[in-house]
Structure 1
Amino acid sequence: MLYKTLFATTAAATVLAGAVQAQEHVLKYAHFQSADMSSPKHAAALAFESCVEGKTSDAIDVQIFPASQLGDGPTVMEGLELGTIQMGVVHDGPISGTYQPFSVLAMPYIFDDQAMAWSVMDGEFGDALFEDMREQTGIRAFGVADNGVRNFTNSVRPVAEPADMEGLKIRVQTAPVWVNLVESLGASATPVPWPELPGALQQGVVDGQENGVTNILNASLYQHQDYVSLDGHVFSWHAYMMNEDFYQGLSGDQQTAVNQCVDIAITIHRGMTAAQDANAATILAERGLEVTPVSPENKDKFREAAQPAVREYIVGEIGEDWPNRLDEAVQAYRDQY
């Protein structure tokens, strides 16, 4: 009887030890979109979870926290710095609040299309930016996926050229560069955290906002807006980031698995968001918005009004190095074609 008891106790301890060993690392993964498969961030997160747990035989336990459950963008960035959040997919504004050079990507009307934007961010420019970010913050950026081509929506009037922006109250991300962008076009800018945006639109705190199609759909922003202007002022990004100490605590094989699975997640995320951007006019019209295409001539007016002012602001904040590097990367892409 004693032998059987000892055997059962030893067996149970062995099973428990095996379970503990199997889950060596808990990876808390934060993003802000809703927890459904129509959300590019969540579809990509689920793919990452399945991929990593499969490749590591569950040694990494990926726990996904969607819909800002772990806090807004600045809170997640702080968690990534401290290591209380191991992985986050965060948009440009909060990133530039933690790592200022990221604000260079708020330069308006700089990319012609997704092909150019992806090439620049996947090339030497993106690599250098991410390495500098890792050194300065202790946050590793693996790469970026689309946060959507940003367009203006509002509840007051159609916007076809900068003069139509005059007097509009526009919500912007919580980083000064976005305030500068909107004010350069004659509107007034009000920083509002993402979770509070639907309420701000519904209550009339702001007349409008600027976002890509994915975010407009995901948060049902179209319910409180009447007009959308397809000016495409900024190619916005979500960065896939991890606390560097956590990453270095993984084995070589586990790091390889994470790298490979992030690549898969980014590919899914980009594809879903880019498809929505390409069909923006149809998708938003079906949601009841009056769509205003912006002609090339009027887009030049937007560029001439916004780009010099925003560039001057960015240079004043971070110097000329990163803006110049971005210009060079864009020109190098154009020289290929």
Structure 2
Amino acid sequence: MLKKIALLATALVALDATMAAAAPKVMKYTHYQPGREDQPKHAAALAFEKCVEGATSGSIDVQIFPAGQLGNATTALEGLRLGTVELAVVHDGGISSVYSPFDVFALPYIFPNHEVAYKVLDGDFGKEFADAMLKETSIRLLAYADNGIRHFTNSKHPIKTPDDLKGLKIRVQPAPVFISLVESLGASPSAIDWGELPAALAQGTVDGQENGVTNIMAASLYQSQKYATLDGHVYSLHAYLISDVFYQGLTDVEKKAVDTCVVEARDIHRNMTRATDLAAEKTLTDVGMEVYVPSADEIAAFRDLAQPVVRKHLEAAVGADWVEKLVKAVEAAGGSQ
């Protein structure tokens, strides 16, 4: 009888081991755009899910939670650090609350175009930056994607010069660097979380805001904003972030799948957002906004006011080293002021 019990116990242990080996590793993947395929973050997420699950023969189960279903950016980033959220695609302002050097990308008017930005982000600077973030936060930055080139909108009047911003209340991301940027141009900044922005604009809590066209369209901000100025003051980013606790628990095959598939997701995300950026004037005009496209000289007037102030802020907040490295990387990639 005892022998039978021992054999049964051995069999159950073996069965448990087999079941555990067969159970997929769940990857909770959250982002902050609507769960529609016309949204860059979600289209990229769906591609990533298909790619990873195929490449790992289902050993990773990717579960997508769009529209901030797992909480705001701060909650998601804390989850990444603890390993309770496996992957999140988070905007720059949110990331800087956990890793302040991310604010360096908000240096205004630093990237002249998409091509220069991609060279910098996908090159040595981007890798060095990601390695430093991993060391400090235990969050692994897998890829940089576009959050759209940021422009000013408002409900009061056209903005053609920095003087036109004076007296306006402008919503910014809850990040000091964006407060510094808006103040440098003479407007009054108000830090409001993304989820509360449409209501704040509709109720007149603020007069305007600054965002990429993708986000303006996704949240229908044009419904309460009459005027847009395509000044392109910040090349805003999303980052693909994975919990290093989770990543280190993957097999080599699974790690390779994640690393490969995130590039596919990144490129879908970038291409969709870039296309919207390049069509900004028509897109916003078609929904009833009055759009102003500043000349190079007019952009220079904004840059000459904003960049020195924000650079000084960044040098104090995140260190002159990161600022100088970014400026040099942009110059090496073919950008110039």
2:113 pairs with 1:113: yes
Q: Distance in 2 between matches of 1:153 and 1:273?
A: 18
> What do residues 125-166 of structure 1 show as CA deviations (whole Å, max 9, x unaligned)?
110000000000000001111000000011011001101000
In the other structure, the counterpart of 2:191 is: 191
> What do residues 31-67 of structure 1 show as CA deviations (whole Å, max 9, x unaligned)?
0000001100000000001111111111111111100
In the other structure, the counterpart of 2:328 is: 328
Mapped contact 1:23–1:61 kept (Cα < 8 A) = no
- Amino acid in structure 2 at the alignment position of 1:121: L
Q: Distance in 2 between matches of 1:33 and 1:297?
A: 35
Q: Distance in 1 between matches of 2:207 and 2:73?
A: 23
Q: Distance in 2 between matches of 1:77 and 1:254?
A: 22
2:272 pairs with 1:275: no
2:218 pairs with 1:218: yes
Of stretches 73-82 and 218-227 in structure 1, the one that deviates more from structure 2 is 73-82
> What do residues 60-105 of structure 1 show as CA deviations (whole Å, max 9, x unaligned)?
1111110011111111111111111110000000111110111100
In the other structure, the counterpart of 2:236 is: 236
Mapped contact 1:89–1:240 kept (Cα < 8 A) = yes
Mapped contact 1:23–1:58 kept (Cα < 8 A) = no
Q: Distance in 1 between matches of 2:188 and 2:269?
A: 32
Q: Distance in 2 between matches of 1:86 and 1:60?
A: 11
Mapped contact 1:22–1:57 kept (Cα < 8 A) = no
Mapped contact 2:111–2:335 kept (Cα < 8 A) = no
- TM-fit CA distance, 1:21: 3.3
Aligned-partner SS, 2:49: helix
Q: Distance in 2 between matches of 1:147 and 1:22?
A: 38
In the other structure, the counterpart of 1:203 is: 203
In the other structure, the counterpart of 2:81 is: 81
In the other structure, the counterpart of 1:122 is: 122
In the other structure, the counterpart of 2:5 is: none
In the other structure, the counterpart of 2:10 is: none
> What do residues 206-226 of structure 1 show as CA deviations (whole Å, max 9, x unaligned)?
111111011111111111110
Aligned-partner SS, 1:48: helix
In the other structure, the counterpart of 2:153 is: 153
> What do residues 15-43 of structure 1 show as CA deviations (whole Å, max 9, x unaligned)?
99766533331111010000001100000
Q: Distance in 2 between matches of 1:245 and 1:23?
A: 18
Q: Distance in 1 between matches of 2:18 and 2:272?
A: 39
- Amino acid in structure 1 at the alignment position of 2:197: L
Q: Distance in 2 between matches of 1:193 and 1:18?
A: 46
Q: Distance in 1 between matches of 2:299 and 2:161?
A: 7
Q: Distance in 2 between matches of 1:335 and 1:313?
A: 22
In the other structure, the counterpart of 1:251 is: 251
Mapped contact 1:68–1:195 kept (Cα < 8 A) = no
- TM-fit CA distance, 1:281: 0.2
CA RMSD of aligned residues (A): 1.7
Structure 1 residues 335 and 67, CA, compared in 2 at 3 Å: closer, same or farther?
closer
2:47 pairs with 1:52: no
In the other structure, the counterpart of 2:165 is: 165
- Amino acid in structure 1 at the alignment position of 2:128: A
Mapped contact 2:103–2:314 kept (Cα < 8 A) = yes
Structure 1 residues 153 and 131, CA, compared in 2 at 3 Å: closer, same or farther?
same
Q: Distance in 1 between matches of 2:265 and 2:57?
A: 19
Aligned-partner SS, 2:96: helix
- Aligned residue pairs total 325
Q: Distance in 1 between matches of 2:43 and 2:20?
A: 28
Q: Distance in 2 between matches of 1:68 and 1:309?
A: 33
Mapped contact 1:44–1:265 kept (Cα < 8 A) = yes
- Amino acid in structure 2 at the alignment position of 1:90: V
Aligned-partner SS, 1:236: strand
Structure 1 residues 137 and 68, CA, compared in 2 at 3 Å: closer, same or farther?
same
- Amino acid in structure 1 at the alignment position of 2:271: G
- Amino acid in structure 2 at the alignment position of 1:321: D
Structure-2-length-normalised TM-score: 0.93
- Amino acid in structure 1 at the alignment position of 2:210: E
- Amino acid in structure 2 at the alignment position of 1:66: P
Q: Distance in 2 between matches of 1:107 and 1:69?
A: 30
Q: Distance in 2 between matches of 1:20 and 1:62?
A: 18
- Amino acid in structure 1 at the alignment position of 2:334: R
Of stretches 193-202 and 129-138 in structure 1, the one that deviates more from structure 2 is 193-202
Consecutive unaligned residues of structure 2, counting only runs of 5 or more, are 1-12
- Percent identical pairs in the alignment equals 52
Q: Distance in 1 between matches of 2:61 and 2:254?
A: 12
